């Protein structure tokens, strides 16, 4: 409140000062004698006051414009109220100003009347005429006197005119004392105040004065020049404070051409009554002439004063309008700001209740509302935290989506399973998630298909490949038809079932191996022994032709039994594959050793190697991986129909992706490729395109690679042949590689 009081006090003081100075300025214009000296100061004060008000208004306008631009609460209401206030206050002031200006101009003009002006001019002219009559008389008298003096030839007494002007020259003053009785007598006779005889150069020859002023009034040079030219001078002059005098200067005729030309000057006082009247007329005429001259300027000054009053009034009214509008809209602005704050989530917003009127009641209700909302929100937050805690404790991933496919929540287990790290995915669309995290594309496709299909309840397995290898996810989704006012959505619960599937598969193959051992392998030994005993017992006793047949048949039986034993052993080995034994291994060297083995056995085949040089040693089970490379190189050689023309391309690379670093090993042959119908299940046991073999080679390869957390793919190359690609994760912790197994 204190700043507001200070502002109001300052503006009030400013208003009073402006009003006071305006009053004084108005008084100064009407009566310059009273405040005339202060007129400029008053005008400057008013201009400064006006500038101060204009500055205040400009600041208010700027603030309002800024508030309007940023759509501040209450700004539009303030503008509306301001417009009303300003219109209501300024419009009457402007109308009043217009009428006042009109009246003022007409009023000033009404002061001046042509008839008065003419009357004053006539009075002045009359005064001049009256004086002219007298002046002509004194001129005639003086001219007659001049002729008389010329005839009488008064004595000459040359005096220095310059010396006479110097009142300090006592010597000259003494020598000049008028003792010429004739001149005095003549002066008294014509009724002159002063009578002088001077040369045309201005040198005083003789003088007579009736007063006490010892300094004669020497005629100025222009008058002397005029007289010298033969024209007498007669003029009316105000001399000092003595009033009007008539100065007459005439030439003194002289027959002696050797003497300098002389001038007779006489000063005649104007009669006292005439002097007073003439002075009054002259004074009134001068005053009226001055007023007439100042009329336009006076109107301008009045107009300026009135305009200053107008501008000051408007400035005060506008500022008052600003102040009033802000005061009236302040509680409403506060309410609007509070509502906006609540809408933005600030439920602790409370507003000060300054009044007990309707607005105060509204503010109290608002405060009560925010208090209740804050309590309700606190309860919701508690419930939310409880649910979040529950979700975070789940081992399954829980993903909530809205109807638009935007991710709303994902619990910690879900983030861990999907290997999201610190990426913020809340609010993200599923398609955006697939773009940003490419390894989740299969997962997203699985979810999107069901969401687009509008399945209420669904379940599907999906696979993703993350830093730690391939993951099998069992996803279950359901639609969430919530309350009417609540947005519906979907919830997807997914589990990492990689270990479970692997365990199930291991158990299945173990069962197969056990059955094979029990059902097939066990009878093979009696069959083999029986065949050998037949051969041993009857071969020597039979005819050579029969013996040959028996030998061939028993040999076939033994060989086939051996083959079946090898097959069963291989299958048993697959099912009972021991745990991997990791050690730091240089994969390039390991592959090269395998290639050398086959290169020596197949010297005609061509092996082309393209190994990356920057591959570090990694922790793998070298013997198991050697078996992988053996199987793949062997398959590549066998894929070529003519081994002498076989071409095998082996390459290694280091691959960097957003999910981590990998090794890739590519083995490419130029054979006939893989039949397309076998591509989907080429890694399953007993799936083979070869006429010989157990059909377990690629299955074993896949199992070993998966036990290392990697992935192996087999595809036909565009230029012919098949390409096997192995991708092994490069992780710092070797145990992480084993986790998929």
Partner 1 sequence: MNAARRLLALICCLCLSAGAMARGVTITNGTASFENAELVISIQASIVLNKTVEEALDNGITLFFEAETRILRERRLWPDTQMLRNSHRFALSRHALSNRYALTDLTSGQSRTFQTLQEALLVLGDLQRVFIADEAALPTQDVYLARARLRLITEELPAPMRPLVWISPSWWVSSQWYEWIIKR
Task: For residue 36, state whether it binds partner 1 (rule: CB under 8 A).
Answer: yes
Q: Is 237 in the site for partner 1 (CB under 8 A)?
A: yes
Q: Is 674 in the site for partner 1 (CB under 8 A)?
A: no
The one-character DSSP state at 518 is: I
- Interface with partner 1 by CB under 8 A: which range of 291-299, 431-439, 504-512, 624-632? 291-299
271 by Cβ neighbours in 10 Å (0-12 / 13-18 / 19+) ranks as middle
Q: Is 234 helix (H, G, I), strand (E, B) or coil?
A: strand
The residues, ordered by sequence, that sit 6+ positions from 332 with a Cβ below 8 Å of its Cβ are: 74, 77, 359
Write down the least CB distance from residue 52 to partner 1, Å: 16
Q: Does 267 bind partner 1 (CB under 8 A)?
A: no
Rule CB under 8 A: say whether 271 interacts with partner 1. no
Pairing relation of β-strands 606-610 and 647-657?
Answer: parallel
Q: Which of 187, 285, 535, 723 binds partner 1 (CB under 8 A)?
A: 285
CA distance 493 to 397: 5
When asked if residue 134 is in the footprint of partner 1 (CB under 8 A), the reply is no
Q: Which stretch binds partner 1 (CB under 8 A): 176-184, 296-304, 321-329, 604-612?
A: 296-304
Contact stretch for partner 1 (CB under 8 A) within 229-237, 354-362, 408-416, 558-566: 229-237
- Of 251, 156, 150, 252, the residue nearest 205 (C-alpha): 156
Stretch that binds partner 1, among 7-15, 253-261, 278-286, 456-464 (CB under 8 A): 278-286
Q: Contact between 152 and partner 1 (CB under 8 A)?
A: no
Q: In terms of C-beta density within 10 A (0-12 exposed, 13-18 middle, 19 or more buried), how is residue 187 classed?
A: buried
- Contact code string over 196-225 relative to partner 1, x by CB under 8 A: ------------------------x-xx--
**97 vs 103, 134, 317, 432, CA distance in Å?**
10, 55, 14, 69
Q: Taking CB under 8 A as the rule, which mask of x and - marks residues 482-521 in contact with partner 1?
A: ----------------------------------------
Q: Per the structure block, which two tokens stand in for 610? A: 């393209």
Q: What angle separates helix 697-707 from helix 622-639, to the nearest 10 degrees? A: 140
Q: Interface with partner 1 includes 315 (CB under 8 A)?
A: no
In this chain, which of 22, 43, 464, 466 binds partner 1, going by CB under 8 A?
Answer: 43
The reply to whether 274 sits near partner 1 by the rule CB under 8 A is: no
Q: Is 461 in the site for partner 1 (CB under 8 A)?
A: no
Query: Pick from 63, 160, 282, 432: which binds partner 1 (CB under 8 A)?
Result: 282
* Binding of residue 236 to partner 1 (CB under 8 A): yes
Q: Does 292 bind partner 1 (CB under 8 A)?
A: yes
Nearer to partner 1, 288 or 465 (CB): 288
Report yes or no: 443 and 464 within 8 Å, Cβ to Cβ: yes
Q: Does 294 bind partner 1 (CB under 8 A)?
A: yes
Closer to partner 1 at the Cβ: 235 or 352?
A: 235
Residue 29 lies near partner 1 (rule: CB under 8 A) = yes
Q: Does 135 bind partner 1 (CB under 8 A)?
A: no
Q: How far is the CB of 311 from partner 1 (least distance, A)?
A: 15
3-state secondary structure of 176: coil
- By CB under 8 A, which span of 125-133, 389-397, 472-480, 602-610 interacts with partner 1? 125-133
Among 37, 519, 604, 715, binds partner 1 (CB under 8 A): 37
Task: Out of 278, 417, 722, 731, point to the residue binding partner 1 (CB under 8 A).
Answer: 278
Give whichever of 262 and 285 is closer to partner 1, judged by the CB atom: 285
Nearest-angstrom CA–CA distance, 187 and 264: 11
Interacting span for partner 1 (CB under 8 A) from 32-40, 431-439, 464-472, 523-531: 32-40
Q: Which long-range contacts (CB under 8 A, 24 or more apart) does 646-650 make?
A: 646/602, 646/604, 646/605, 646/606, 646/670, 646/671, 647/605, 647/606, 647/608, 648/595, 648/605, 648/606, 648/607, 648/608, 649/608, 649/610, 650/591, 650/595, 650/607, 650/608, 650/609, 650/610, 650/611
Q: Is 627 in the site for partner 1 (CB under 8 A)?
A: no
Cα 223 from chain centroid (whole Å): 85
437 contacts 417 by C-beta, under 8 angstroms:
no
Q: How far is the CB of 282 from partner 1 (least distance, A)?
A: 4
Collect all residues with Cβ–Cβ distance below 8 Å to 47 and sequence separation of at least 6. 308
Window contacting partner 1 (CB under 8 A); options: 25-33, 56-64, 554-562, 591-599: 25-33
Token digits of residue 202: 């201005």
Q: Which of 178, 202, 238, 243: binder of partner 1 (CB under 8 A)?
A: 238
39 binds partner 1 per the rule CB under 8 A: yes
Member of 51, 286, 387, 529 binding partner 1 (CB under 8 A): 286
Whole-number minimum distance, CB 320 to partner 1, in Å? Answer: 27
- Pick the closest to residue 78 from 88, 90, 67 (CA basis): 67
Nearer to partner 1, 301 or 635 (CB): 301
For residues 242 and 520, which CB has a smaller minimum distance to partner 1 in the complex?
242
Going 689 to 693 to 695 to 697, the CA torsion angle's sign is negative
How is residue 569 written in tokens? 């052993």
Range in contact with partner 1 (rule: CB under 8 A) among 139-147, 234-242, 679-687, 706-714: 234-242
Query: How far apart are the C-alpha atoms of 268 and 248, rounded to whole Å?
Result: 8
Instruction: Pick the binder of partner 1 from 12, 13, 40, 84 (CB under 8 A).
Output: 40
Determine, following the binding rule CB under 8 A, whether residue 672 of this chain makes contact with partner 1: no
Q: How many other CB atoms sit within 10 Å of the CB of residue 410?
A: 21
Residue 55 touches partner 1, criterion: CB under 8 A: no
Helical H segments across 112-250, by residue range: 114-152, 161-165, 170-175, 181-190, 221-228
The set of residues, in sequence order, having a beta carbon less than 8 Å from that of 510 and lying 6+ positions away, is 575, 576
Q: Is 276 left (phi over 0), alpha (psi -120 to 50) or beta?
A: alpha
Q: Is 235 in the site for partner 1 (CB under 8 A)?
A: yes
Candidates 239, 340, 359, 592: give the one binding partner 1 (CB under 8 A).
239
* The only residue of 7, 300, 375, 553 in contact with partner 1, by rule CB under 8 A: 300
Say how far apart CA 456 and CA 434 lie, in whole Å: 23
Given 119, 298, 336, 527, the residue binding partner 1 (CB under 8 A) = 298
Under 8 Å between Cβ of 413 and 397: yes
* Distance, C-alpha 39 to centroid of its chain: 49
Q: Name which of 108 and 728 has its Cβ closer to partner 1.
A: 108
- The Cα 175–Cα 194 span in angstroms is 18
Query: How many binding residues for partner 1 (CB under 8 A)?
Result: 40
Sole binder of partner 1 in the list 169, 210, 289, 664 (CB under 8 A): 289
Residue ranges binding partner 1 (CB under 8 A):
28-29, 32, 36-37, 39-40, 43, 124, 127-128, 131, 220, 222-223, 235-241, 244, 278-279, 281-282, 285-287, 289-290, 292-294, 297-298, 300-301, 304
């Amino acid at each position: 409140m204190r700043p507001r009081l200070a502002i109001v006090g300052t503006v009030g003081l400013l208003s009073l000062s402006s009003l006071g100075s305006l009053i004084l300025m108005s008084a100064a214009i009407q009566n310059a004698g009273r405040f005339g000296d202060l007129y400029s100061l008053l005008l400057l004060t008013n201009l400064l006051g006006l500038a101060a008000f204009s500055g205040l208004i400009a600041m208010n306008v700027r603030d309002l414009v800024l508030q309007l631009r940023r759509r501040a609460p209450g700004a539009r209401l303030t503008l509306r109220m301001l417009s009303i206030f300003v219109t209501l206050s300024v419009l009457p002031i402007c109308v009043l100003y217009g009428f006042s200006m009109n009246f003022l101009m007409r009023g000033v003009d009404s002061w001046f009347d042509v008839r008065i002006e003419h009357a004053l001019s006539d009075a002045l002219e009359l005064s001049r005429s009256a004086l002219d009559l007298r002046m002509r008389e004194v001129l005639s008298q003086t001219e007659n006197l001049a002729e008389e003096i010329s005839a009488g030839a008064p004595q000459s007494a040359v005096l220095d005119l310059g010396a006479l002007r110097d009142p300090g020259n006592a010597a000259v003053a003494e020598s000049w004392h008028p003792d010429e009785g004739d001149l005095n007598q003549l002066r008294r006779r014509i009724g002159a105040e002063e009578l002088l005889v001077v040369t045309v150069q201005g040198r005083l020859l003789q003088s007579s004065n009736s007063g006490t002023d010892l300094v004669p009034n020497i005629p100025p040079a222009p008058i002397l020049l005029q007289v010298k030219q033969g024209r007498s001078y007669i003029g009316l002059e105000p001399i000092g404070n003595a009033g009007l005098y008539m100065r007459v200067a005439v030439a003194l005729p002289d027959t002696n051409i050797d003497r300098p030309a002389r001038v007779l000057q006489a000063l005649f006082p104007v009669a006292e009554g005439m002097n007073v009247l003439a002075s009054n007329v002259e004074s009134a005429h001068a005053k009226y002439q001055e007023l007439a001259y100042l009329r336009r300027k006076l109107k301008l000054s009045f107009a300026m004063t009135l305009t200053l009053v107008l501008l000051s009034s408007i400035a005060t009214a506008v500022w008052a309008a600003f102040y009033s509008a802000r005061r009236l809209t302040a509680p409403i602005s506060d309410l609007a700001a509070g509502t906006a704050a609540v809408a933005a989530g600030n439920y602790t917003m409370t507003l000060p209740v300054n009044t007990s009127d309707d607005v105060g009641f509204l503010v109290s209700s608002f405060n009560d509302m925010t208090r209740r909302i804050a309590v309700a929100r606190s309860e919701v937050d508690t419930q939310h935290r409880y649910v979040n805690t529950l979700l975070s404790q789940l081992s399954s991933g829980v993903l909530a989506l809205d109807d638009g496919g935007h991710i709303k929540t994902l619990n910690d287990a879900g983030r861990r399973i999907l290997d999201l790290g610190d990426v913020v995915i809340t609010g993200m669309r599923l398609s955006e998630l697939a773009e940003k995290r490419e390894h989740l594309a299969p997962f997203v496709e699985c979810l999107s298909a069901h969401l687009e299909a509008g399945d209420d309840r669904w379940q599907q397995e999906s696979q993703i490949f993350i830093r730690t290898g391939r993951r099998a996810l069992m996803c279950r989704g359901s639609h969430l038809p919530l309350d009417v006012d609540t947005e519906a959505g979907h919830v997807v619960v997914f589990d990492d079932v990689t270990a479970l599937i692997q365990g199930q598969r291991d158990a299945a193959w173990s069962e197969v191996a056990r059955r094979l051992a029990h059902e097939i392998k066990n009878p093979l030994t009696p069959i083999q022994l029986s065949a050998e005993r037949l051969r041993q017992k009857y071969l020597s006793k039979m005819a050579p032709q029969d013996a040959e047949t028996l030998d061939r048949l028993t040999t076939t039986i033994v060989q086939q039994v051996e083959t079946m034993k090898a097959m069963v052993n291989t299958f048993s080995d697959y099912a009972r594959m021991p745990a991997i034994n990791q050690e730091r291994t240089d994969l390039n060297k390991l592959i090269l050793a395998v290639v050398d083995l086959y290169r020596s056995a197949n010297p005609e085949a061509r092996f082309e190697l393209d190994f990356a040089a920057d591959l570090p040693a990694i922790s793998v089970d070298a013997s198991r991986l050697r078996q992988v490379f053996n199987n793949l190189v062997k398959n590549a050689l066998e894929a070529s129909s003519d081994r002498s023309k076989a071409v095998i391309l082996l390459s290694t690379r280091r691959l960097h992706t957003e999910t981590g670093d990998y090794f890739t090993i590519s083995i490419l042959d130029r054979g006939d490729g893989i039949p397309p119908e076998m591509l989907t299940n080429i890694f399953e046991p007993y799936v083979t395109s070869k006429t010989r073999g157990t059909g377990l080679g690629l299955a074993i390869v896949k199992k070993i690679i998966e036990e290392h957390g990697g992935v192996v793919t087999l595809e036909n190359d565009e230029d012919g042949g098949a390409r096997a690609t192995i991708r092994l994760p490069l992780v710092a912790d070797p145990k992480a590689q084993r986790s998929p197994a």
